Amino acid sequence: MSTLRYELIYAAITRAGILTDTSIHNDIHKQFEFRKQTVLVDKTLTNDEKTYAIRNITKDYDRSKILNNEGTKRICENCNQECLATLYCECFND
């Protein structure tokens, strides 16, 4: 894995957020897709940096889905329960 340039990554994430037109991308799902696509076409980032940026955007998206209790639920491969998050298990049982 190459060295990640975190300043460029966070600048790209910020730029994607600023470019999001909430009158067009009027829900969290459309906003997530727009931000993800904006990062993917950013020519200043390497593929590893794009992956890192998209993971960060996805974490924010997962948090929003859980807080707003909206989105398509999936069956978690860890706990076999329905959940909204895509990057982690929402079950807090030990």
At residue 41, the pLDDT reads 97
Residues 11 and 13: their CA atoms lie apart, in Å, by 5
Q: Which of 56, 58, 59, 41 is nearest to 4 (CA)?
A: 56
The predicted model scores a pTM of 0.85
Task: Render pLDDT for 27-54 as a digit per residue (tens, 0 to 9).
Answer: 999 999 999 999 999 999 999 999 999 9
- Can you give the residue ranges of every domain in the chain? 6-83
Indicate if the pLDDT at residue 5 is higher than 60: yes
Q: What is the mean pLDDT of the chain?
A: 92
**Does 94 score more than 80 pLDDT?**
no
Return the higher-pLDDT residue of 92 and 87. 87
